[in-house]
Structure 1
Amino acid sequence: MKIEVKNLTKKYKDKLALNNISFTLEGPKLYGLLGRNGAGKTTFMDILAGNIRASKGEILIDGEVPFDNQKLTESVCLIKEGHNFKRDLTVKNVLKIYSYFYPKWDQNLADELIEFYDLNKNARVKSLSKGMESSLGIIVGLASKAPITVFDEPYIGLDAAARKKFYELLLEEFETDKRMIILSTHLIDEVSLMFEEVLIIQKGSLVMQEEAEYLRNNTCAVTGTRDEVSTFIQGKEVLETKELAGVMTAYVYGNAADAKSQGLRVESIPIQELMIYLTEGKKGA
């Protein structure tokens, strides 16, 4: 499926959550949607899922607006970090309701994951711990088989082992039944190798959209003497420089393949650090 975001703007009274943002996503692909708290990520996901309207601009899914469009809302499954389900429903009822809503629902997968996460089907949502409620959201998101599956910090309350299992399941399901998966997370170091494409949003604006492999290969920290590094970075996109005792390190966006040949030390920049640099008010890439 294809998502076209065209001059999308969303205001809440005096707060501008999204500011004339435009980009395109095409699946199947695994996207990382990154940014700090309050960047506008959740607002974008709510508009994509048809939960709210844009103030200006639009999101189109295969050429159609998702708001008040049941055919499209059946194609998008949004799992947020909490409050996904009515509190008085039992786990069993949650699964039954979602199985009716999503045409490609995989009940066998849902049953397997209920057993793995050790959820009591007769327990009410309001009785679940935060981790158990997150597990239920993960189960619904994966079992929905929705062509566009969106996870917004879905692992709150899960320990490291349970999160690792979620990442493994996510990759398995993506390989088995290709779909567009959008994962918004603050635990970037845990999942960055999964991403095929990365989007970074800051203060309602898109500051980067790039293939993850390109970022891994073309963003680096270059270290040497002040004169060596200053000469090397001329004409290059520099995110940040640091200097200590005559030694300079420059964080460079772009091809730095010739740095080693000039005697400089080169290290890759984790995507999490790249996101921090781009959202600290410094020059973007």
Structure 2
Amino acid sequence: MRVEFNGVSLRYNTFEALKQITLRLEGEKIYGLLGRNGAGKTSLLTLLAAYREPTEGTITVNGQIHFENEKIMPDIAFLYERDYKEESETAKEVLEMAERYRPAYDREYAEYLVRRFKLPLEKPVKKLSKGMQSAMNVTLGLASRTAITIFDEVYLGMDAPTREIFYRELLEDQTRHPRMFILSTHLVSEMDHLFDEVIILDKGKVVVQEAYDRLVSRGVTVTGDERIVDPFVEGKKILNEQRLGKTKSVTLYGAFTEEEMARARSEGLDVGPVSLQDLFIFLTGEED
């Protein structure tokens, strides 16, 4: 699949939620979509899911305008945290409805996920806990096996052990049935191992679209005796600092040269990768 945003803007009355977005997503990858509150993540995803049209620009899937395109829409699933208080259907009925409308839906896999998440099928959706509602949404997204599957923070209601089950199932099913996933999240440090590519939005604009490995190579973390670390990092762009006794760890923006790496080793310093979360905070930080 190939998705292209070309000069896309979205306005709500006078508020411009997205500003001249140009993006290209392709292949069977897991994309991480990051941004602070109000950055435009959900607006971007609702456009991709064809819930609305852009104010300006075009969005195409495999070269075709996808809005109200009946050939394309069954291949895009958009799962998001929603209010189920008016929903009287049971979880079983919701899953059965998805099976009718999703041509690639795998009932056997859905039943397996129901058991994994201990989802009570006969209970009305509105009476499910937040965690179980999240598990139902994740089950819908994974079992539908659409060519483009979008998860917009649907896992927030899950507790940590259940989220780990989701992460494991996502990676395993991506191996068996590769497709395009887009995961919008604030759980950056918990989910970064899932991403093949990262997109960062800030104030309605794309500030980064880059492969995960290449992005985290933009910085380094230097750890050692603070008396050695402090002069070593002097004059460099510092993203984060941590201390434990006399040991200090400093995260820097900017890759090291081979000479700097050799010098660090010779002075007994450990040099490691930067975290995606530190980079995200830096790249979306407020200007002074």
- What is the CA-CA distance between 1:249 and the residue it aligns to? 5.0
| 1:192 pairs with 2:192 | yes
Share of identical aligned residues, percent?
35
| 1:50 pairs with 2:50 | yes
Structure 2: which amino acid aligns with 1:176? R
| 1:75 pairs with 2:75 | yes
| 1:40 pairs with 2:40 | yes
- What is the CA-CA distance between 1:227 and the residue it aligns to? 6.2
Residues of 2 paired with 1:186 and 1:38: CA distance? 12
CA distance 1:94–1:271, change in 2 (3 Å): same
SS in 2 for 1:104: coil
Q: Could you tell which deviates more after superposition, 191-200 or 251-260?
A: 251-260
Residues of 1 paired with 2:131 and 2:217: CA distance? 36
Residues of 1 paired with 2:117 and 2:95: CA distance? 14
TM (normalized to structure 1)? 0.88
CA distance 1:129–1:256, change in 2 (3 Å): farther
What's 1:278 paired with? 283
Residues of 1 paired with 2:182 and 2:120: CA distance? 28
Residues of 1 paired with 2:87 and 2:27: CA distance? 33
Q: Is the Cα contact below 8 Å between 2:2 and 2:25 reproduced in 1?
A: yes
Residue correspondences, number: 276
Cα shift readout 1:50-109 (whole Å, capped 9, x = no counterpart): 111111112111112221112211111111122479612221211111111111000001
Cα shift readout 1:10-34 (whole Å, capped 9, x = no counterpart): 0111221101111111120111111
CA distance 1:240–1:118, change in 2 (3 Å): closer
Gaps of 5+ in 2: none
What's 1:60 paired with? 60
Cα shift readout 1:251-285 (whole Å, capped 9, x = no counterpart): 223454442223374332210111111111359xx
- What is the CA-CA distance between 1:250 and the residue it aligns to? 6.3
Q: Is the Cα contact below 8 Å between 1:239 and 1:282 reproduced in 2?
A: no
Cα shift readout 1:211-244 (whole Å, capped 9, x = no counterpart): 111123342135766665456x5xxxx47587x9
Alignment of 1:190-229 (within 5 A): 190-222=190-222, 228-229=232-233
Structure 2: which amino acid aligns with 1:201? L
Gaps of 5+ in 1: none
Q: Is the Cα contact below 8 Å between 2:240 and 2:278 reproduced in 1?
A: no
Q: What RMSD over aligned residues (CA atoms) do the two structures have, in Å?
A: 2.6
Structure 1: which amino acid aligns with 2:279? L
Cα shift readout 1:38-58 (whole Å, capped 9, x = no counterpart): 110101110001111111112
Q: Is the Cα contact below 8 Å between 2:219 and 2:251 reproduced in 1?
A: no
Of 268, 272, 279, which residue of structure 2 is paired with 1:267? 272
Q: Is the Cα contact below 8 Å between 1:82 and 1:134 reproduced in 2?
A: no
Structure 1: which amino acid aligns with 2:181? I
Q: Is the Cα contact below 8 Å between 1:239 and 1:253 reproduced in 2?
A: no
- What is the CA-CA distance between 1:8 and the residue it aligns to? 1.0
What's 2:120 paired with? 120
Alignment of 1:1-285 (within 5 A): 1-83=1-83, 87-222=87-222, 228-230=232-234, 233=236, 238=237, 240=239, 251-263=252-264, 265=269, 266-282=271-287
Q: Is the Cα contact below 8 Å between 2:134 and 2:158 reproduced in 1?
A: yes
- What is the CA-CA distance between 1:116 and the residue it aligns to? 2.0
Q: Is the Cα contact below 8 Å between 1:222 and 1:259 reproduced in 2?
A: no
Structure 2: which amino acid aligns with 1:101? Y
Q: Is the Cα contact below 8 Å between 2:222 and 2:229 reproduced in 1?
A: no
Q: Is the Cα contact below 8 Å between 2:84 and 2:126 reproduced in 1?
A: no
SS in 2 for 1:103: coil
Runs of 4 or more, structure 1, over 6 Å off, are none
Residues of 2 paired with 1:225 and 1:118: CA distance? 49
Residues of 2 paired with 1:70 and 1:86: CA distance? 28
